[in-house]
Each structure stands twice: as structure tokens, then as C-alpha cells.
A and B are shown apart, each in its own frame.
Chain A
Amino acid sequence: MSVARFWRKQINRYNLVGTHCKTCDTYYYPPRNVCPKCRRDGEIESHKFSGPGEIVTYTVIHTAAEGFEHQAPYVLGIIQLDEGPRFTSQVVCNPEDAHIGMRVKPVFRKLGESGDKGMIYYGTKYVPA
């Protein structure tokens, strides 16, 4: 991913900043420009999430994505934040310990890097709460 493409979403990735629709009172992370429920009638504002949530479902990836080879096996999960929205994140834990319903909390971690000499991408991963 290009540096600019990552940098644009830095505030969201570093601080769990998503969006809240004031019209229907629903929360979104990742952030959205248009509320999927109210569509153009939605009134979107920025919202910083509290952090904790739980694992909805997960997998242990053995054949890694490009750039993640040194991390395998790693746990990838869909996390549901306490405010409602779901998103995909790595869960840093022993793969045998991961389970559906597991309580997790956010941590600031390196996500990857842009090539051998490129910028390091940081963001949020999850650990057992």
C-alpha cells in the first residue's frame, strides 16, 4: 500500500476513530462517508471508540499473506466493539487460546512496512483483555 494511502487513514488506525450517524445513532468502524442505513439522510460525525470488544469469529492463518510470512501462524479475527461495529484485526495471542466470544482490548502495534526500506505502518491490533 502506498505511503499516502496509508497516511490518509492514520488517525483512524492509530486511535480507533470511526464515525457515528446522528440520524440513526449507529456507529461505524472502519469510518464511512455515507450512513448505509440512512444513506444521504444520515448525519455523520467523527467518533473515537472506547476500545474493548470480543471475537465474533476467527482463523489461524498458516499460509500467510504477502508481507506477513514471518508472522505465521497468526490469529485473524472479526472483532465486535462494545459500541457495535465489527472489523477485521489480528489478535496477538497463543493460537490455541483464541475462541469465539473471547474478550479483547486494543494495543498499538506495527502492522507492516512498505517494501524493504519503506515506511513502517503502525495501527491497532488486539490482545486478550
Chain B
Amino acid sequence: MRDVAIIGVKNSKFGEMWDRSFRDIVVEAGVGAIEDSGVSGDRLDGMYVGNMSGGQFVEQEHIGALIADYSGLSLDLHVPSTRVEAACASGGLAFRQAVMAVASGHEDIVMAAGVEKMTDVSSTAASAALAAAADREWEGIMGATFPGLYAMIARMHMHEYGTTSEQMAEVAVKNHKNGSMNPIAQYKSPITVDSVLNSIMVADPLHIFDCSPITDGASAVVLAPAEIAHEYTDTPIYIKATAQASDTIALHDRRDITTLDASVAAGRRAFEMAKMTTKDIDLVEVHDCFTIAEICAIEDLGFAKKGEGGKMTEEGETAIGGKIAVNTSGGLKACGHPVGATGIKQVVEVTQQLRGEAGGRQVDGAEVGMTHNVGGSGATAVVHILARER
């Protein structure tokens, strides 16, 4: 297998973009990533596009072909373009497919993109589309919502480990602070623990400020074999590990409701592949679709002891400048969570950090970063380790 490098990245703006369409935002990100990489568009050998639910959000399927077409890569060039779906982990999985395509030697210059346009439907319809990532026949039919499933994780975590609502709120406070320094973030206003705890209850114990928002957005990266990456950029970022794991689709079938075993397995596989440990990681973008999800993620990946994720957050160890910088982009919570794009946005954030281009949210001397993208309530987890050094 060949070593693979990232040579170009770009996010569209994340937020409620009433004036822009699905294809507008993905073309912005895709063209931006190609410009950033310095390759000419006609050099692309393939595209992998993460998208969770174009069918329900914009009544559009055949997303791969649509994006190749509107990126100007269909006519004459006929660049192959493949949609990848794994609920909210669609972006991370699209990136993994692109990495494997280059690593295998089958394709050289490849784009991985992710996109979701979620505000063209009502928030009720958007929630219904998202609920399809859980078990429709045995969870959805009983009135389960996504906040409801994570609320049951949170309730159990509080019961078993003494995690508090204040500790969960600290995740939101930190991520909004980081997001305030990210030009593309949906929310740039800092918030307080009190404002989280006083926001309306969505699914007890999760308040609305414990939840990531409904967001439009797209992200894209361009990959090349490591051998030729320097032809395009002075700062290639290398992929040290790519890992994926599955778990039960329904939360009720889990071994332990407070542990996402798919995250544990994907994290372990990634560390083995990179021959690294948590001590080697300078920053991590984790899947904080809800505040409790970030607490579980840092425990499942090994940055916190089981049950101590809340305490670690409360003590500031996950802030920029702390023991491990978690969600410097603002995470899903403040940056926004366009479900199919999130996994690629995580890769863009880590790449910008490792290049030293993260502005006010820069982690000093960042050499190695990790991304962690989850689908559903934990049925899919995708983990990557990226580094400045090959």
C-alpha cells in the first residue's frame, strides 16, 4: 500500500444558507479544495462524496454523478464519482474510501467531499430524516428521536459515573469558544454553563444547547500519493491511519450503553496502524453531536479514563492549550453539523492545524491530529490519524 497525503482542503461556510443550493455549496468546497491543492481539475482520477440523506433533505439521489457534473468533471472527462453513506459518518467514510483508492495504487489524484443541505425542509422533517440513522422499526416506531437516544446514554453515564449536567454544558461552552474563532462556524457567540442549563429541555437531561444544530455545509479535500505530494504543496499532511468499525444499529443491543464500542475498536485499530498512542496526539476532532457524545468519545478513544470525561472537560484539559485540544473547530456543536460533510470538515480542520493555518484557534506546535466521526448512535465509527511528518 502507498502512503497518502492531503494536498488541498476547503470548507464552504456552515450555517442556514437560504440563498444557496445543495449544488452551490458542494461546488464551492470542491473547487476551493482543487484551487488550494494546485492541481488542475482534469487531473482528478476519482471522487468520493459523503452524503447521508439527499433523498430526504433535497429529494435528490444519484449524488455522485450530480456533483461530478456540476463540478465540470463529467463532460469529456467522465471522472468516476461515488456516493458513500453511513449516516452522520458518511463524510469520514468517504474520506476513508478516497484514502484507500490512492493507497491501493488504483487512483492517484482523488477528491473526498461531503455535503448536506438540511434547511430546505422543516425542522420536523429534518429530524425525521436523521432518525432514519437509528433502527426505524424498533426505535423510531416507539417515538425515539436522536436527542432521545443520546439522552439515554447521558442518563446512564450520570447514573454510573456521576457525570453532571454542568460537566456536559462545559463541552458546549468550550466548543462555542473555539467556534467563535472559526470563520466558517455556524455559531460564533460564546455561551455560558447557565445559558446551556437554562435552555429548553429537548430530551431530559439534554437541553437544546447540548445539541448540535441543523446545518447546511460542504467540505472537500484533495489526496495524492505521498511520493508526488510535494509537486503540489509545501505542506502535505500525511495519513498515518484509517480505521472503521461497526456496532449494533439499535442502542438497546449494546454491550454497555455508555460506551460506543465502534469508537473503541476504530480508535484501537488506528493507533495500531499508526504505531502511536494517545500521547502522540496533539489535537482531536471528535463527534460531539450532543455534549455527552464528546464525553463518551474522549473516553472511548482513550484520552480520558472511563467515567472521567466530564471531569476532564470541567477541569479545562480538553481546551486549546490543555492536555489534549478537543474540537478546535468548534465541533459539530458550534461549527454546525451538516451530517454528510462533518467527517470531511474534521479532516480539513486537522489539516489546517497541522499546516499552522488555524489562526486564533491554532494549537501550538501541532504535529499529529486525529478525527473521529460517528454514524447513528454509534453503529459506525471512522477514525483517522494525520501527521506533518511522513
Contacts and interface: CB of A to CB of B under 8 A. Distances in A.
Co-assembled chains A and B: yes
A39 interface: no
B143 interface: yes
Contact of B131 (A59, A65, A88, A111): A65
Interface string B343-384: 000000000000000000000000000000000000000000
A86 B144 CA distance: 15
A121 B200 CA distance: 31
A68 interface: yes
A30 interface: yes
Given A30-B137, A65-B128, A65-B144, A88 B151 contact: no
B202 A62 contact: yes
Interface residues of A, number: 34
A10 interface: no
Given A57-B156, A88-B250, A100-B159, A111 B203 contact: no
B245 to A, nearest CB: 15
Given A56-B257, A57-B152, A100-B155, A66 B127 contact: yes
B139 interface: yes
A88 B252 contact: yes
Given A65-B128, A88-B138, A59 B151 contact: yes
Interface string A44-68: 0000000000001111111111111
A63 B203 contact: yes
A62 B201 contact: yes
Contact of A88 (B144, B147, B208): B144
Nearest to A125: B142
B20 interface: no
B142 A56 contact: no
Given A86-B252, A86-B253, A87-B252, A61 B138 contact: no
A77 interface: yes
Nearest to B204: A60
Task: Name B's interface SS.
Answer: helix
A59 B205 CA distance: 7
B390 interface: no
A68 B152 contact: no
Interface string A84-99: 0011111000010000
Interface in B124-161: 124-125, 127-128, 131, 136-145, 147-148, 151-153, 155-156, 159
A62 B138 contact: no
B229 to A, nearest CB: 43
B251 interface: yes
A35 interface: no
A114 B156 CA distance: 33
Contacts of A5: 137
A57 B141 contact: no
Contacts of B138: 30, 87-88
Contacts of A74: 143
A90 B144 CA distance: 9
B143 A71 contact: yes
Contact of A76 (B144, B153, B253): B144
Contacts of A64: 143, 145
A86 B251 CA distance: 9
Nearest to A78: B252
Interface string B198-233: 001111111010000000000000000000000000
B142 A111 contact: yes
20 contacts: A1-B136, A5-B137, A56-B156, A57-B152, A58-B155, A59-B148, A59-B203, A59-B204, A60-B201, A60-B203, A62-B202, A63-B202, A63-B208, A65-B140, A66-B124, A78-B251, A87-B138, A88-B144, A112-B141, A121-B141
The 3 closest A-B pairs by CB, nearest first: A59-B151, A60-B204, A57-B156
Interface of B: 124-125, 127-128, 131, 136-145, 147-148, 151-153, 155-156, 159, 200-206, 208, 250-253, 257
Given A59-B152, A59-B204, A76-B148, 4 more contacts: A1-B136, A30-B250, A59-B155, A61-B151
